[in-house]
Copies of this chain bind each other. A is one copy, B any other.
């Protein structure tokens, strides 16, 4: 629960309110903004009645976030966050990150070739799945540990930082040299995993769940941040709706809404959102126009033979063309690729 006090609130009034909650056993987090002071109540605020609070003349608003995010909130951290990936790479801070690579790592040749291609085209990070969450147990489940090793090899050869998905916390020790750990849409509320990732300092790419609303996405980020890891990158990848011509419905309005509520950077994944390779270009450009901090795209050197999600992958030469266009849109947004 966040209590937003009026600019006219006196020091005495704020102290009084703070003491009231300290006595009731809450921890109180005080934050002085430029115009407003905020009190963040930590503890079980479910029993706190917000209406008497709201009737106090010096209180402006009570934000009853039944699922209250604090560390992810722009209230407490008005400036945009930038997430440092390595000495050369940052997410946020006026850059458009371009994360590209195959859905699954399939062989050394495949991942090295794609890595080199996307680097040349302008990608800033390499993506690739070693552990694959597939709807069917009979589908290819990824190269697992071997895949992870090939991913690290590709990093070594190209210098690109790598992003790859963790499916269970037991895999965490293997991710030591991974630059960004991806939490997939299906694990967006695997709270045990999120908590554990909160104990690391690794950048986490947190994908929005298929039916997760924006507040809940921020609560999932909060799980990681509550543990002390502020390096969270949000990723919108389509939500589930009644429309069937696209695999999911890409929610681009989530970008400005998230920008309003949080300081964390936001990446868009047009490949998984739409499931259609021909939609990757228009949705990439639209995402940049809407204010995204980056794009994550599936690129495959041979989509027709891909072991997974071929219909949404684009070829390296298509990726290069998209990057060329994207640069111009980034410029209009005063951002750099």
Q: Does A85 contact B (CB under 8 A)?
A: no
* Contact B291–A7 (Cβ < 8 Å): no
Q: Does A14 contact B (CB under 8 A)?
A: no
Residues of chain B with a CB closer than 8 A to A38's CB: 2, 29, 40, 65
What mask results when residues 46 to 63 of chain A are scored 1 for a CB within 8 Å of chain B, else 0? 110101111110000101
Residues of chain B with a CB closer than 8 A to A216's CB: 135
Least CB distance from A200 to B in Å reads: 16
* Contact B170–A170 (Cβ < 8 Å): yes
Residue of B133, B139, B287 near A286 (CB, 8 A) is B287
Instruction: Give residues 263-291 of A contacting B (CB, 8 Å).
Output: 273-274, 276-279, 282-283, 285-291
* Contact A55–B313 (Cβ < 8 Å): yes
Instruction: Give residues 157-202 of A contacting B (CB, 8 Å).
Output: 167-170, 186-187, 189-193, 195
Of A107-115, A120-128, A147-155, A244-252, the one touching chain B: A244-252
* Contact B191–A190 (Cβ < 8 Å): no
> How many copies of this kind of chain does the complex include?
4
**Identity of the chain B residue whose Cβ is nearest the Cβ of A251 in the assembled complex:** B249
Residues of chain B with a CB closer than 8 A to A286's CB: 252, 286-287, 289-290
Q: Do A31 and B36 form a contact, CB below 8 Å, given A4-B65, A214-B245, A257-B246?
A: no
**Most chain B beta-carbon contacts within 10 A, residue among A40, A140, A222:** A40
Residues of chain B with a CB closer than 8 A to A135's CB: 66-67, 189, 216, 219
Q: Does A319 contact B (CB under 8 A)?
A: no
Q: Does A303 contact B (CB under 8 A)?
A: yes
**Most chain B beta-carbon contacts within 10 A, residue among A192, A240, A251, A276:** A192
Q: Do A52 and B311 form a contact, CB below 8 Å, given A134-B191, A255-B282?
A: yes
Q: Do A189 and B257 form a contact, CB below 8 Å, given A34-B43, A55-B311?
A: no
Least CB distance from A55 to B in Å reads: 4
* Contact A46–B138 (Cβ < 8 Å): yes
Q: Does A84 contact B (CB under 8 A)?
A: no
Q: Do A52 and B310 form a contact, CB below 8 Å, given A137-B223, A190-B186, A289-B286?
A: yes
Residues of chain B with a CB closer than 8 A to A90's CB: none
**Most chain B beta-carbon contacts within 10 A, residue among A140, A213, A304:** A304
Residues of chain B with a CB closer than 8 A to A86's CB: none
Q: Does A68 contact B (CB under 8 A)?
A: yes
What mask results when residues 210 to 247 of chain A are scored 1 for a CB within 8 Å of chain B, else 0? 11011110010011001000000000000111111110
* Contact A138–B193 (Cβ < 8 Å): no
Least CB distance from A57 to B in Å reads: 9
- Determine the distance from Cα of A239 to Cα of B190 in the docked complex, in whole angstroms: 18
Residues of chain B with a CB closer than 8 A to A303's CB: 52, 55
Residues of chain B with a CB closer than 8 A to A310's CB: 49, 51-55
- Determine the distance from Cα of A251 to Cα of B246 in the docked complex, in whole angstroms: 10
Q: Does A11 contact B (CB under 8 A)?
A: no
5 contacts between A and B (CB under 8 A): A51-B55, A52-B310, A55-B55, A55-B312, A168-B192
Give the 6 A-B residue pairs with the shortest CB-CB distance, closest first: A211-B211, A52-B310, A54-B311, A55-B55, A55-B310, A168-B192
